[in-house]
Structures are given as C-alpha cells and as structure tokens.
A = this chain, B = another copy of it.
C-alpha cells in the first residue's frame, strides 16, 4: 500500500520488508490505468530536428528539464514527428491515449497548430517560448524584446552606428521578438535600420557563414552585428575570418544564449545569457502546477537574462587600455 492514512508506520515498514524480500515491484501500467495518472511528462521535439539537436542550447535546456522532472518523480517521454504535418497526430496519440500527464512544447512558431490542439483538448501543457495567439496558455520565456534591446544598446554604447542583425527563421516568435528589440534600440537612438543589414537564416553555423558574404559585399557594411544564436555566431566568426576581417577590430559581435563554448571561441563571444537551464527547470515546475489544476496567474513566467560582455564586442580603444 502507498501511504494510506489509516495504516500504522509499523505495518508499513513490515510490508516494505516483505516487498523487498519477495522481490515484488508494482506494475506501473496497472497503477496508472486505475489512477489515471502516469507520472510522465511528454516533450515534443519540433521538426526539423537537426537544427535543435546540433545546438548546445538544446542540451542545456533538456538538462534543466530532465533534472527537475526526475527530482519531482516524473519521467520524460520524448517524441518527435516523422514529418511536420504529422506533429498533431503524434501528440494526439500521447494526449488522447493518456500516455502522459502533460506536455512541454519547444520552439513555438508564431501560429502553432500544436498549441491550438492542446488548448482545444484542455490538456495541460507549457510553452517554452510564447504565443500571442493563445495568451491563456502557460508559458515560460525570456523577455526577448529586451534581450535584443540590451545587446543592441551595448553596441550603440560602444559607439557603433551601423549595426546588422542575423536572425533566425521568421516564423518563430523568438526571431520576431529579438528583431523587435533590435529595431527599438536603434529607433530610440535615431539610427538607421536598413533592410539589407537584416538577414534571416536557420540556427546553423552555415547561416552565419552565408550571412557574412552577404553583409560584406555591401557598399556600406555594418561595423557590428547582433547574432540570434551563439551557434550561428560561430559561423559568422568563421565567415569573417575567411574574408579577412578581424573581430572585434573590424567588426564587433554580440549573440545570444551564452553556451559554454562562447567563452572558448576566439575571440571569446559576448553573449546574452538567457538562463537556459533555468528555463527548462521552470518549465517543468510550471507544467506540474498546471497539471495540479492551479490557475495560470503570472503569464508568461519571465526568466531573467544578463549580457555577458567579452572580447568580441569590446571597443578596440578599451581593449588597448
């Protein structure tokens, strides 16, 4: 028996001893069949998966999720759809088959059919990211407008007037928000935002690499660049080095996520630390609350961020001193 109120601690101890002795282990399936609870959290990996898996960011996020789930005695069920058209079917199997108690959603698109499905089913879920289309959904996110504002502001403070932006896929809320923050900072300082200084890509090194040949062939080149993700920034670094530009002497760089490698890049990358581990950790906490039936009050939960300034964005003047 599992902690019934009317059972004395002594008996409980005896029972446990016998369980041990006889090698008895309760069957999880039978248990959850009757209790209608699985002690399992589902996580749906977005398609295509390559980008995500090749990013340290994901590993760190997952670590936060797994750690907290384990600590709260939940298991984690990972699924991915075989194609993006199959995403709703995949999650439907988990949800309607009552295989999990709640779902974690990653990398939310600006209008995501998965969110639509889960809302409509009234199934517990938490968004890592945010969606304007479903303000009632539980969300955990950074203030991404602010993260980009801070990064851009930092470059402006270093005296830069021509600032480029290497963004991610335009259908992600994340890309949209960061672009907004970038524009806001520029606008407040009366600086130009030229369309040719903004380029969209994937969260891959190649994207950063390609963006550089694009930027550097312009008649008027930016003197500094905000990059949506550290991983992309590595491609940017490589692109600049191949074209013969030095960082930060010729071009300054700031990016996002502050993965462990940023510190080890040459030069070390300035990056906005978005508290990735905490993001995953908090998402689990929130999901558990939603599962428990608590109302979603504070929405979205905002994870604080912090700009870490390193050599890649240091004004050469400062550097010399």
Q: Is the CB of A77 within 8 A of B80?
A: no
A37-63 interface with B by 8 A CB criterion: 38, 40, 45, 49-50, 52-56, 58-60, 62-63
A100-116 interface with B by 8 A CB criterion: none
Q: Known contacts being A56-B54, A59-B55, A205-B261, is A82 close to B99, with CB within 8 Å?
A: no
Residue of A49, A52, A55, A204 with most partner-chain B CB within 10 A: A49
Interface membership of A217, Cβ < 8 A: no
Q: With A and B bound together, what is the CA distance between A228 and B16 in angstroms?
A: 46
Nearest residue, chain B, Cβ from A76: B78
Q: With A and B bound together, what is the CA distance between A40 and B97 in angstroms?
A: 14
A74-87: contact bitstring with B at CB < 8 Å (1 yes, 0 no)?
A: 01111111100000
Interface membership of A298, Cβ < 8 A: no
Interface membership of A125, Cβ < 8 A: no
Nearest residue, chain B, Cβ from A42: B75
Q: Known contacts being A66-B78, A77-B77, is A205 close to B264, with CB within 8 Å?
A: yes
Interface membership of A260, Cβ < 8 A: yes
The residues of B that contact A78 with a CB separation of less than 8 Å are: 66, 75-78
Of the 9-residue stretches A21-29, A138-146, A187-195, which lies at the interface with chain B?
A21-29
Q: Known contacts being A63-B50, A209-B264, is A25 close to B237, with CB within 8 Å?
A: no
Nearest residue, chain B, Cβ from A74: B79
Q: Is the CB of B80 within 8 A of A25?
A: no
The number of residues on chain A lying at the interface, defined by a beta carbon within 8 Å of a beta carbon of chain B, is 59
Q: With A and B bound together, what is the CA distance between A170 and B272 in angstroms?
A: 35
Interface membership of A181, Cβ < 8 A: no
A131 to chain B, nearest CB (A): 24
Nearest residue, chain B, Cβ from A58: B59
A6-29: contact bitstring with B at CB < 8 Å (1 yes, 0 no)?
A: 000000000000000000011111
The 5 A-B residue pairs with the shortest CB-CB distance in the complex, in nearest-first order:
A25-B96, A28-B97, A53-B59, A53-B63, A76-B78
- Chain A residues packing against B (C-beta within 8 Å): 25-30, 32-33, 38, 40, 45, 49-50, 52-56, 58-60, 62-63, 66-67, 70-71, 75-82, 90, 92-94, 96-99, 204-205, 209, 231, 234-235, 237-238, 241, 259-261, 263-266
List 29 A-B residue pairs with CB atoms under 8 Å apart, sorted by A's residue number. A25-B93, A25-B97, A26-B97, A27-B33, A28-B97, A29-B33, A29-B38, A29-B98, A33-B33, A54-B56, A54-B59, A54-B60, A55-B59, A58-B59, A59-B59, A66-B80, A67-B80, A70-B81, A70-B90, A71-B82, A75-B77, A75-B94, A76-B78, A77-B77, A205-B263, A231-B261, A234-B264, A238-B265, A266-B266
